[in-house]
Amino acid sequence: MISATPRLRLNDTLSNSLIPVRAPDSSSVNIYTCGPTVYRDAHIGNMRSYLLADWIKRILISQGHKVTHVKNITDVGHMRQEMLERGDDKVVAEALSQGKSPAEIADFYTGRFLSDERSINILAADVFPKATDHIAEMIEIIESLLEQGFAYAVNGNVYYSVKSFPGYGMLSGNVQESLLREAVRVEVDSLKRDPRDFTLWKSAEAGRELKWDSPWGGGFPGWHIECSAMSLRHLGSNIDIHTGGVDNIFPHHEGEIAQSEGAFDQTFVKTWVHGQHLLADGVKMAKSLANEYTLTDLKDRGFDPMAFRYLCLTTRFNHRLNFTFSSLKAAERALTALRHRIWQWSPKSVENIQKDNLETWDNAFFDAVNDNLDMPTALAITWKMIRSDMPGHVKLHLINRYDAILGLGLSEISEHYRFERSRKTSENQSSIT
């Protein structure tokens, strides 16, 4: 039995150090994951960051903790700063291009996202809050920031004053001059007091469909305020673990810290965990390069989507992973070989097996996963155990334990095989009689 005491250590982006995950009490941990913007399918680079959160969650559950996991659905639009300057909104733009309402577009791609998660065996979050259901909370936080001097309103727009929050930029290292350089990269908003300031609330342009009433007039929220509001509503003002991709660090997570800590005057997140880029043939995935592959693309080419999960196990989450179809094919072959091994084993009691032997394998496997999610080592240990001379039923016992974390669906495969074998045996006996 694995100890209920948290043993997992993760590299915290803010402190750039390996720290133990410590629950606020002896049994519960909460996780917030930046989820998809639902105006198109999530690509496999996005899915890799959701696998990161899934492995953290599985490890903590295996250690006896109650995990509360929130993964937001951004159905207003990923309104980065430059988009806000122009009044763009990806959900609205996609709806206009397809002749549908923003709600119809968001619902369609939300369904597609949840289906994609199931196809690679990601455990469902406890809550999938939608940004459009939390406008009241966003307005409340913005009002608090205005009252405390962290924000200012101009002509129906509300901006966060970056210089009012001394810690801004510490997560990403974008401070002072580097922040200014980043700010001038985008179209300048003449209403800002400082080009580094970011938008909390934007006044709606004439004819805009997706807008809400506010104390500053009809408008819509900025990108960063959405997650501050949704995490507050469902997890409170303090989060144990916040996950996302490295693309989220700046400006999104910097904005979340400034908003939440400015409004509530306490540490917002205990541990920040970010997954590195998934490259495609050595370059960053981009729509313009036509290499933003989706799980549907992989399935259309005849691949089992679970092969992608296996592939992601072969590289640590904080290292770049280069995706190629050759590497995916190799991962699929390895997964198939693993499944065939399991099909040969039958379940039996392991009471007569020396516990020291089991503990040796357990210690090696769980030491790896608890060491900042060293999944490649955990996978290698799993294969070493499978190739050992232990009886098959003992290997099956261990693989079922390990797959609760790996998440490759091996237990289900074993159960399916045993059912089919029993069914065929019964049919053969019936034909004989």
CATH number at residue 390: 1.20.120
Domain assignment present for residue 241? The answer is yes
Comparison of pLDDT for 355 and 343, the residue scoring more: 343
**Alpha-carbon span 199 to 251, nearest angstrom:** 11
Domain boundary among 239, 258, 275: 275
Q: Is residue 19 part of a domain?
A: yes
Distance CA 207, CA 154 (A): 21
Whether residues 360 and 411 share a domain: the answer is yes
Q: What are phi and psi of 389, to 5 degrees?
A: -95, 15
> Quick check: helix, strand or coil at residue 66?
strand
Whether 278 has a pLDDT exceeding 70, the answer reads yes
280 pLDDT higher than 50: yes
CA distances from 188 to 85, 158, 426 (A): 7, 15, 74
Average pLDDT of the residues of the chain: 87
Residue that finishes a domain, picked among 275, 295, 310 = 275
**Region 148-165 average pLDDT:** 97
Do 244 and 320 lie in a common domain?
no
User: Does 417 fall in a domain?
Assistant: yes
> 141 and 22, same structural domain?
yes
Count of CA atoms in the C-beta half-sphere (13 A) of 54: 24
Lowest mean pLDDT, pick from 50-59, 141-150, 167-176, 193-202: 167-176
**Same domain assignment for residues 257 and 399:** no
Going by pLDDT thresholds of 50, 70 and 90, the confidence category of residue 393 is: confident
Q: Choose between 235 and 343: higher pLDDT.
A: 235
Mean pLDDT throughout 347-375?
85
Selected residue with higher pLDDT from 134 and 281: 134
Within 8 A by CB and 6+ apart from 393, the residues are 345, 346, 347, 348, 349, 350
Judgement on whether residues 269 and 409 belong to the same structural domain of the protein:
no
Strands 66-71 and 28-33, by their bridges, are parallel
- Grade residue 88 by pLDDT with cuts at 50, 70 and 90: low
Mean pLDDT along residues 127-139: 97
Range of the domain at 233: 9-275
What's the total number of domains in the chain?
A: 2
The more confident residue out of 96 and 147 is 147
CB 47 within 8 A of CB 38: no
User: What is the Cα–Cα distance from 62 to 187, expressed in whole angstroms?
Assistant: 48
Same domain, 231 and 305: no
Structural domain includes residue 1: no
Reply yes or no on whether the pLDDT at 404 is more than 80: yes
Mean per-residue pLDDT, 230-237 = 96
Same domain, yes or no: 261 and 125: yes
- Within a domain: residue 2? no
Neighbours of 7 (CB within 10 A): 17
Q: What is the pLDDT of residue 223?
A: 87
Q: Is the predicted pLDDT of residue 87 greater than 80, yes or no? A: no
Q: Which of 230, 246, 275 is the last residue of a domain?
A: 275
Confidence of residue 169 (pLDDT cuts 50, 70, 90): very high
**Residue 196 sits in the same domain as residue 331:** no
> Quick check: 426 pLDDT over 70?
no
What is the mean pLDDT of the segment spanning 225-234? Answer: 97
Is the pLDDT assigned to residue 418 strictly greater than 80? no
| 3 part of a folded domain | no
Q: Are residues 323 and 384 in the same domain?
A: yes
Least trusted range by pLDDT, from 248-262, 337-351, 393-407: 337-351
Mean of pLDDT values over 282-294: 85
Q: Please check whether residues 324 and 290 belong to one and the same domain.
A: yes
> Do 271 and 317 sit in the same domain of this protein?
no
Q: Does 239 share its domain with 294?
A: no
Non-local (6+) Cβ contacts of 114 within 8 A are: 124, 128
pLDDT, tens only, 240-276: 999 999 999 999 999 999 999 999 999 999 999 999 9
- Supply 170's token pair: 């510490």
